[in-house]
Amino acid sequence: MKRFGVAIASAVTAAALFSLPGLAQDAEKAKMTTEMDLHVTDLADGMLSPYLDKDEQTLMKSLAYQHAVALNCKGLSVDQAKSQAQLERVFPQAEMDKMTEEQQLAMTTSVMMGFSAVMGGQFAIAAVDYDAYCKAAEADFASKDGSDTHLILVKAP
């Protein structure tokens, strides 16, 4: 019974907080974008997992996110040389040479479709609130200390 009372008190408090102007809308945006991100991540994982291990999947999703940020947010761009170097980790030439042409095509298609799914999801999330999306991305970028080898974002010239 005590848990039920706490749950009611929490619900009343949340309702009061989110009835303030703007907060309900922000909470709804946060819920919607979280659901979008989870759905797209599941979709991308399905395309990436047959060919990539967990670390490589994380790398591809990170690269896709950073490319989407660079395309959506002024002031940030992608270092193309760093991006290429990261992609070569996922598609090492020595390993690719061991595959048949059909295997190479299947892997490249599936992995790049997963990459594209993440980018598309990020475009949709950004469209909900460009300012908030770019502020969050800029804060994330600013918090990096340079030791993140997956970081391909740079300040735009």
pLDDT tens per residue across span 61-100: 999 999 999 999 999 999 999 999 999 999 999 999 999 9
Amino acid at 135: K
Determine phi and psi for 155, rounding to 5 degrees.
Answer: -65, 135
- Residue 27 to residue 16: CA distance in whole angstroms: 13
What pTM was computed for the model?
0.78
Query: Residue ranges of the domains in the chain?
Result: 26-155
Distances (CA, A) of 24 to 18, 33, 133: 4, 14, 18
Decide if 133 contacts 32 (C-beta within 8 A): no
| 102 class by beta-carbon count within 10 Å (0-12 exposed, 13-18 middle, 19+ buried) | exposed
- Residue 44 to residue 113: CA distance in whole angstroms: 8
Low-confidence residues of the chain, pLDDT below 70?
Answer: 1-25, 145-147, 149
- Residue 147 to residue 154: CA distance in whole angstroms: 14
What's the pLDDT at 25? 61
- Residue 51 to residue 150: CA distance in whole angstroms: 19
- Residue 6 to residue 60: CA distance in whole angstroms: 42
